[in-house]
Amino acid sequence: MLPIFYSDQFLDHDTGSYHPENPGRLTAIVQALNAAPWADRLDWRSPTEPRDRSPLDLICQYHNPAYVEAVAALAQQGGGHIDQDTVVSAQSYAVALLAVNAWVDGVNAVLQRQGPAFVLARPPGHHAMPDYGMGFCIFANAALAAYHALEQPGVNRVAIIDWDVHHGNGTQAMVAPDPRIVYGSLHQFPFYPGTGAATEQGYHGNVLNIPLAPGTTLREYQPQFEQRIIPFVRQFEPDLLIVSAGYDATQADHLAQLSLQPADFGILTQACLGLTPKVLFGLEGGYDYGAIAAAVMATLEPCLSR
């Protein structure tokens, strides 16, 4: 059984009718997974509620506590904007805390079962900087999950692979100073958020950025993934691999211009599982309902035998 961490509460993060990062993304994925021929092999798990395990100590260790308090206050006032793209509604702070707990729960599940898990949560996180949120992201879920993992017995090194079409500037900012974490990203460039040049290599040579041109297909993408990202991670010998699983690199996605197909993510997943069975996949971007649902299915299918 493959653990899937999900809650209907993730739908309560209300970004507005026309915002691309909206609850329909999760609804489309859940409907597709429930209709899959292997639906009975999915182990749907509810994330730990913040009242049962507050993630604030973890969050405030890596985010500025003043920023965290500002998000809470904005939600309490009924909502507003962190920036032009990043919306906070009345429920967003609570939902963002639940999302962090879901990623932490995912780490715990992977370490316990020595096999993969998937976190189906929102808001996404890889653009969230230490002092502010941006790019639809409030808290840096993947980076926080990595730091939680490093607190667990037997975990001394964590790798993060980011295949979202946008560079994970927040994740990089969070982990680049720490030699216990490596971060590898493939992303359209130059593109939002303006970071992710190949020259950005971290404080310890622990960052690998692979800029990609608009129109890139699997033919060009796969060699970069298998001949550069995978060896970079393998050489590090991580005790856990976290994948920032964004699906906006699909050709159907209207927010970017890479040209992967949903089925291609099954190939990328197989490569990740070839590194280690201990992989946590967590949802980042992806805004075409059909493409994101199909790509998540392609990601999960190779995990079912692990």
Location of structure tokens 């990609």: 212
Specify whether the CB–CB gap between 82 and 132 falls below 8 A.
Answer: yes
Residue type, 300: L
Angle at 279 between CA 276 and CA 281, to 5 degrees: 150
Q: Tokens for 20?
A: 């691309």
Q: Please enumerate in sequence order all residues whose Cβ is within 8 A of that of 82, keeping only pairs 6 or more positions apart, or say none.
A: 71, 74, 88, 132, 133, 134, 138
Cβ-in-10-Å burial (0-12, 13-18, 19+) of 44 comes to: middle
162: left (phi over 0), alpha (psi -120 to 50) or beta: beta
Strand order in the sheet with 2-5: 42-45, 2-5, 117-119, 279-283, 240-245, 158-162, 181-188, 207-212
Among 112, 164, 157, smallest CA distance to 141 is for: 164
> Is the backbone peptide bond immediately before 190 cis, with ω within 30 degrees of 0?
yes
Distance CA 223, CA 19 (A): 34
Instruction: Kindly name the residue from 13, 63, 126, 127 that is annotated as catalytic.
Output: 127
Annotation says 148 is catalytic: no
Residue 32, Cβ neighbours under 10 Å: how many? 18
Catalytic machinery residues: 127
